[in-house]
Amino acid sequence: MDLTYTDEQLAFRDAVRACFAERLPARLSDKVRLGKRLTKRDHEEWHAILHEQGWLAGSWPKAHGGQDWDAVQRHLFEEEMTRACAPRIVPFGVAMLGPVLQAFGSDEQQAHWLPRILDGSDWWCQGYSEPGAGSDLASLTTSAVRDGDHYVVNGQKAWTTLGQHATMIFCLVRTAREGKPQEGISFLLIDMASPGIDVRPVLLIDGEPEVNEVFFDDVRVPVENLVGEENAGWTYAKYLLTHERTNIAGVSFATAGLENLKRIARLEQAGGRPLIENPHFAARIARVEIDLMAMTTTNLRVVSAAAAGQAPGPESSMLKIKGSLLRQEINALTRSAVGPYAMPLVPEALEEGSNTESIGPDYAAAATPAYLNTRKLSIYGGSNEIQRTIIAKSLL
C-alpha cells in the first residue's frame, strides 16, 4: 500500500477542512474542545449538517446514499473531523447497522431503514451485552419466540450506550436452544416505543448516564424485522463486531488527544519550565507517538483490505487492543500534565447551561472525565483478553 497522499487525496482533505471551517458551529466545536457534554440535540444538529453535505456515511456505496469513499478518504475525513473538534458521528446506525443491512438485509429492509439512518428519522442503539453475557456473547439468554407474524421478546440488555435517546435497537436474541450456543441466535430490529420495553440509565463514575439497562417484557416484534435468516445472527454479529473493533482503535481520536497533550505539556508549569522539557515525560510522549504512527499504518491496511472485499480478521482484534491501550495512555498522560487540576471532578461544570465553574484552566476540566470514561475501551467490543485469545487461535 502506498502511504503517500496523491494530489487528489490532498484536495479532498482540503475540501473537508474548508467545509468544517465554514459549516461546523462554533458552539459545538467549543463544547468538544473543552470536554463539555453533548446533548441529543447537539448530535442531531451535526448529523443533519453532514447529511446535507452528503458526508454522513461517506464510505457507504452511492446506491445507498454514500460517496463510495476509499480507506484513505475515510481516514482523512475522520482525521479532519477530530482536528476541527467536531462531534463524533454516533456509530450505531451509520457504522454498525448500516453495513450489516447492506450485506445481509433484504431489499425491503435496505429501502426502508437505510434512508432513515441518513436523515435522522431513527436513532439506533445496540442490544448485544447482557448481565451474564458480555465478552462471552454466545451465552446470551434474551429470547424471541415466534408467535404468528411476530416474535415475543423477553430478557435484558446491559451497557446500552445512549439508549436513553434511541428510537430503535438492533438486538441479538435467542431463537433456538439446540446445538452450539452460537447456532441459536438471531438479529432483530426492535422499536424502542414498543409496549414492554423499560430503559433504565446507569450513572457512570464520571457522573454521566451514558449507558443503560434495557428490559424486554413480552415485547412483540414483527417478523419482517428479522435481518437475514433465523438462527444465523451470530454470523451477522461477528461481521458487525469486526467493524466495531476496527473503529474502536480510534486513530483520529488518539491523534487529537496526542496533539492536545502536547499543547498542555508545552505550557509553562508553576516552576517556570514546560513539562515537555522533562526528559522522562518527553520520552513517554515520544513512545506514544511512535505507537500511534504504527497503528495508523496498520489501520489503513486493514480498512483498505476491507474495502477490497476482504473481511477483517484477527487484525481488527490487534487494532482494538492497541487502540484502546494507546488512548488510555494518552488520557493518563494528560491527567499527569494538568497536575493538581486533574484531581477535582466537577461533573456539573460539564453540563450545558450549568453555572458551576470548573476548577483550574479550561483545558484541565475534561482531563479526569476523559480518563475515567476511556477505562471502558479495553472492555467493550469484546474485552482485550478475549481479543488476545482470538489472535492466538487465528495466528499462533
What radius of gyration, in Å, describes the C-alpha atoms of the chain? 22
pLDDT tops 70 at residue 312: no
Average pLDDT over residues 118-131: 97
**Collapsed DSSP state (helix, strand, coil) of residue 53:** helix
pLDDT of 261 = 95
Q: Locate cell 419466540: which residue?
A: 145
Lowest mean pLDDT among 76-90, 119-133, 199-213: 199-213
pLDDT of 365 = 81
Band the pLDDT of 244: cuts 50, 70, 90.
low
pLDDT tops 60 at residue 1: no
Q: Which of 264, 277, 282 is nearest to 339 (CA)?
A: 264
Integer Cα distance of 88 and 78 in angstroms:
9
Asked if residue 388 lies in contact with residue 251, where contact means CB atoms within 8 angstroms, the answer is no
Alpha helices in the chain (DSSP H): 7-23, 26-33, 40-53, 71-83, 91, 98-104, 107-119, 233-248, 251-265, 279-307, 314-338, 367-373, 384-395
> Which residues are designated catalytic?
244
Band the pLDDT of 390: cuts 50, 70, 90.
confident
pLDDT of 68 = 95
**Collapsed DSSP state (helix, strand, coil) of residue 126:** strand
**Collapsed DSSP state (helix, strand, coil) of residue 186:** strand
Cell digits for 309?
472485499
> CB atoms < 10 A from the CB of 311, how many?
12
With pLDDT > 70 as the criterion, what percentage of the chain qualifies? Answer: 94
**Collapsed DSSP state (helix, strand, coil) of residue 268:** strand
Read off the pLDDT of residues 20-52 as tens digits, 9 standing for 90 and up: 999 999 999 999 988 888 999 999 999 999 999
Amino acid in position 157: K
Q: Which residues sit opposite 66 in a β-bridge?
A: none
Q: Locate cell 494538568: which residue?
A: 338
Torsion sign, CA atoms 344, 271, 273, 285: negative
Pairing, β 185-191 against β 211-222:
unpaired
Band the pLDDT of 308: cuts 50, 70, 90.
low
Cell digits for 388?
488476545
pLDDT tops 90 at residue 315: no
Q: Which residues sit opposite 172 in a β-bridge?
A: 187
Asked if residue 329 lies in contact with residue 253, where contact means CB atoms within 8 angstroms, the answer is no
In the chain the domains, ranked by start, together with CATH numbers, are 7-89 (no CATH), 124-233 (2.40.110.10), 249-395 (1.20.140.10)
Read off the pLDDT of residues 321-372 as tens digits, 9 standing for 90 and up: 999 999 999 999 999 999 888 877 777 777 777 777 667 787 888 888 889 8
Please compute, for residue 138, the number of CA atoms within 13 A of its CA located in the half-sphere on the CB side.
13
Burial class (CB in 10 A: 0-12, 13-18, 19+), 183: middle
Cα dihedral 258→263→269→272 (10° resolution): 130
